[in-house]
Chain A
Amino acid sequence: MNPSFDIKQYLIKKEPYYQAQTNEVVLYEAAYAARLPLMLKGPTGCGKSRFVEHMAWKLGKPLITVACNEDMTASDLVGRYLLDANGTRWLDGPLTLAARHGAICYLDEVVEARQDTTVVIHPLTDHRRTLPLDKKGELVAAHPDFQLVISYNPGYQSLMKDLKQSTKQRFAAMEFDYPTADLETAIVSKEAGIDAETAGRLVKIAEVARNLKGHGLDEGISTRLLVYAATLIKRGIAAPDACRMALVRPITDDADIRDTLDHAIDAVFVE
């Protein structure tokens, strides 16, 4: 539609650091080879998005990411008419772009989108591999390289936020969790550039918080937050302060839990 459009801008140039936990890279490659739509499940900040980036880089395909939210409508995915000087003009949405140009389309936190929005992806995710643009009267056949990946966090499931069965059953799924302690230590240490011992202690605190999940905490401390804390430490902040700022304060307002986590920090970091 738009001749000046360049899909190359979505290519990932530099290798994003990703430490495989098990055989997920092989599984993904196999799924991509068959162009199976994929669903990535796992708690927040455990590396789902990073994994997709890494795979897109590895496969050398462009990656179009859409962060889903409640106000998102079908036209935000598919595209809409805009007005310009000569009348109206069609603008492809991210999903259409990906299907047309052969990118990996990654819908992050897909449960946040309303259910009537998510159904537009259905024709792309079965044998049809097409995307009908009703308003425009066009049927876009998906590019051979196109693949759809969605992610969601089963952790904060509620009555309102769940995928329809008809949506769920169109995807192959991979479950992610926080890495094991050793692995996570390596990840934090590599990402933030701190020594392995400090990283190990941060992971210890994260374990404490993850034990409290469901007892006043909705989510444990994510690997992402650990990296934040490690970054602060790297910049010369005292470790307990960095932990309080990056690990504890963001995840809870409950005084008792804050107190327990603060105590855990004192128990793990000794001046």
Chain B
Amino acid sequence: MTVTAETRRKLSCNFARVQSVFDDCLAHAQMKLSDSGVSAYIEGAETICKMGRGEEPVLVFLEEMPLIASQIGEDVIAEVLEFTRKMARTPNSKAIPAFLQTLTAAARHLESRQMFSEYLQLVWQTMEQTSPIVQGMGTVYASECLPGFLNSVPFLLSQLSLGGLKNWVTYGVKGHPNDPDRQRDYFMLQSADSRAVLQRERHGTLMTDHQHKLDLYLRGLWDQEAMLVPYSLAFDHLRKPIPYLDDNGIHLPDVYDDTPNGILGINRYRALLAHVSAHQRWTTPIMADNFSPFQRLSIEVFEDARVEWLAMREYPGLGKLWRALHPVPQQVEHEEGTSYIRHRLTMLSRALLDPEHGYTHPTILKFAAQFHSLMAAGSTTTNAMVDLGVHFISESRHPGDSSAHVYFDGTEIDYRDDNRLMWRFFEDGDEEVYEERPRKTMPEDEDEEPRMPPRLYPEWDYMTQHYNPDWVSLYEHLHPSGDAAYIDQLLAKHSDLAKKLKKIIDLLKPQQKVRVRYQEEGSELDLDIALRSLIDFKSGAQPDPRINMSHKNDGRSIAVSLLLDLSASLGDVPEGCTQSKLELSQEGVSLMAWAVEQMGDSFAIGGFHSDTRHEVRYFHFKGYSERWGDEVKARLATMSAAFSTRMGAALRHAGHYLSHRQADKKLLLVLTDGEPADIDSKDPRHLIEDARIAVRELEQLGIYTYCINLDPKADAYVANIFGKRYTVIDNIQRLPERLPQLFMALTK
């Protein structure tokens, strides 16, 4: 081994343990890498050695690197080295071994050079963003989250794509910016939200994304309704939950990956639902107490096969799906001291499902034939399966069956439920039910005044480009009432304006029937035109054939929702005015409400302000079917300003009501005096982006959103949110006049 001797001279590293393993590592590297790769590898090890971080990183580097480099290219060595160097210059150098340790997992899961580099960037980002900043100094203290994060990475990468991992990290960084302890727990996968985000970002088919489809499937193919209750497979390692059916509904995994043989996740759900539905349709519960556990297992196999057989008679295509999902146990040599009962039953199950099973076990063949002849005879029952099951167990008995060591390989049929509803027990407590029993409901507090429960709305996070689900809690209240006469006074004050408006309204007001003349086809003959045509005709000229007329209804079908921003800034008195923006808005809204009432359009008024995402208050001033009367006026009279402007949730809420109106045109008018902002959102762009997405959502619901902004500097952001649909009112004093005019211009 001259090469080894030569290179050993080159590896000037004096750690004894490094020297002791170096030969083996080098041999490994020479097998995997080219010559230039090997020399880069050795140089890398030396560099790390010279960083003065002890022997640990060198050992990890020597052990891991050949495999990584052989998987994604040798130039990765230089990149890793560069990264390690950079890291060594930060306070986080202690995490270097942990970092190097993650690289194998990263290389295995990411598989491409490009993605691997992105992963390195992500580690760097995580490190920077979780390092505490004390007195503006960011590079003094080590990140407490980094070691935990690096430990979690192998597991995370087995569950998430790189994109998912990025989102998971971003959530952790942003979710607990000022709470290092919770942030550490997050990155160690110890906190609930950490797991929840992981769950959401997992690859595969998420149950929640396809719930509607699955509901339709149950209803359409099986004429059933059931609650689908997801459970998670990610965190139970010892005992994987099995799908089951109980009074609460069908419990099923929250996510299914596509199988290697090309069955989509959604179809795995359908296979499971089909199996459970078949049980519900054809299985009658039987007493369990008379049977041994083995007998019960065997009866279950026959019963599963029976309901599937019946289901396949209706939907032959299910057979293909089930056969693709059912494991194909191979006939194996039996070892002493191992129980093959599960293996035998799975083989039986396969044989019952798949006629081309190719097994030679005589008992299985015999019972499969018996089963099929029984099924072909028609009208089978669960009880018939009991006979088959009991006999199968006694005829196929094997001395090793009761051994504690059970052969499990390939015996898991994951689309079948645990058949708990098939059994009835004499005594309570025998059921194999582990989940908690329903808790006793707490007696409710009767003193509290009735309140509407919060409505939860998602919020768009532009950083991660996805919705934070159920992020904002919105409480709807009826606005307290005051003195309605106050609004009447305001209206009286603007009586000149009202007269002017009235003229426009009369022009706009729908005339119930409009005559449409000059029609070739119509409901009536238009005599004037007809005579003229007749004369033309008689005098030899070409007559006008459009001699009929018809009527058409000229109805306006518009639903309008006016959304008022009631944040604290509305209380300001703008320069050069004698009234606050709030008072001016009050006047404007009153006039507009009066005008809309005259027009006869259906019209609602709501207001909102927010105090963090946990409390967005939405005030109800006027509903669509409420008349513009004293009650509404009384509510408007006490309009007040407080807190901040979380616009997205309010837009979604107002849109929710508006989308349920039956009208040809739906208009949501937003009256605001500033950009969306809230005290728990430090990034000014965040709520603006959320509002922009909310407007786009409304557009998809067929709602035209229009903003009236009182902030002279609004152009900077308002176009971003509302596109071209906005007006900035610079001269706020003219608001009472402009508001109704704007409305009429919009609906002309």
Give A residues with C-beta under 8 Å from B: 73-75, 80-81, 83, 87, 204, 208-209, 211-212, 215-216, 256-257, 259-261, 263-264, 266-270
Contact = CB atoms under 8 A, between A and B. Distances in A.
Interface in B190-221: 212-213, 215-217, 219-221
B221 A264 contact: yes
A208 B220 contact: yes
Contact of B523 (A75, A209, A211): A75
A259 B220 CA distance: 11
Interface string B292-332: 00000000000000000000001111111100000000000
A140 B534 CA distance: 29
B21 to A, nearest CB: 56
B217 A268 contact: no
B530 interface: yes
Given A83-B533, A215-B216, A215-B219, A263 B270 contact: yes
A84 to B, nearest CB: 10
Interface in B544-588: 547, 550
B319 A259 contact: no
Nearest to B213: A256
Nearest to A259: B213
Given A73-B550, A81-B525, A83-B537, A267 B221 contact: yes
A260 B315 contact: no
Contacts of A211: 219-221, 223
Given A264-B221, A267-B318, A269-B317, A80 B525 contact: yes
A47 B339 CA distance: 63
Contacts, number: 67
Nearest to A85: B537
Interface in B104-146: none
Contacts of B316: 267-270
Contacts of B481: none
B213 A209 contact: no
Nearest to B551: A73
Given A74-B523, A256-B212, A266-B317, A83 B534 contact: yes
A216 B314 contact: no
B533 A212 contact: no
A76 B151 CA distance: 81
A87 B535 CA distance: 10
24 contacts: A73-B522, A73-B523, A74-B523, A83-B534, A83-B547, A208-B220, A211-B223, A215-B215, A215-B216, A215-B219, A256-B212, A256-B216, A257-B216, A260-B221, A263-B217, A263-B221, A264-B220, A264-B221, A266-B317, A267-B274, A267-B317, A270-B317, A270-B319, A270-B320
A268 B537 CA distance: 66
Range, interface on chain B: 20 to 34
Interface in B512-531: 522-525, 530
A260 B317 contact: no
Contacts of B396: none
A221 B543 CA distance: 49
Q: Max chain B CB contacts within 10 Å: which of A87, A208, A260, A267? A: A267
B219 A212 contact: yes
B338 interface: no
Contact of A212 (B220, B270, B274, B320): B220
Given A80-B525, A216-B216, A263-B221, 17 more contacts: A73-B522, A74-B523, A81-B525, A83-B533, A83-B537, A87-B534, A204-B314, A208-B221, A211-B221, A260-B213, A260-B217, A261-B220, A263-B217, A267-B221, A267-B321, A270-B316, A270-B320
Contact of B220 (A73, A74, A83, A260): A260
B267 interface: yes
Contacts of B522: 73
Nearest to B274: A267
A209 B547 CA distance: 48
Enumerate the 8 nearest inter-chain pairs by beta-carbon distance, A residue then B residue, closest first: A267-B317, A73-B523, A267-B315, A208-B220, A260-B216, A270-B316, A256-B213, A212-B220
B258 to A, nearest CB: 15
Contacts of B215: 215
A212 B217 CA distance: 9
Nearest to B524: A75
B274 to A, nearest CB: 8
Contacts of A259: 213, 266
Nearest to A216: B216
A81 B527 CA distance: 11
Interface string B207-244: 00000110111011101000000000000000000000
Contacts of B212: 256
A263 B273 CA distance: 13
Contacts of B267: 263
Nearest to A214: B219
A44 B664 CA distance: 26
Contacts of B217: 260, 263
A188 B236 CA distance: 52
B641 to A, nearest CB: 41
Contacts of B537: 83
A269 B320 CA distance: 11
B547 to A, nearest CB: 8
A125 to B, nearest CB: 22
B353 to A, nearest CB: 14
Contacts of A264: 220-221, 315
B249 to A, nearest CB: 17
Interface in B488-532: 522-525, 530
A264 B533 CA distance: 61
B212 to A, nearest CB: 5
Contacts of B317: 266-270
Interface string B38-68: 0000000000000000000000000000000
Nearest to A201: B316
Contacts of A73: 522-523, 550
Contacts of A261: 220
Nearest to A81: B525
Nearest to A204: B314
A35 B537 CA distance: 46
Nearest to A240: B317
Nearest to B662: A159
Contacts of B266: 259
A212 B218 CA distance: 10
A223 B543 CA distance: 49
Contacts of A209: 220
Contacts of A204: 314-315
B340 to A, nearest CB: 33
A261 B523 CA distance: 44
Contacts of B524: 75
B216 A212 contact: yes
Contacts of A212: 216, 219-220
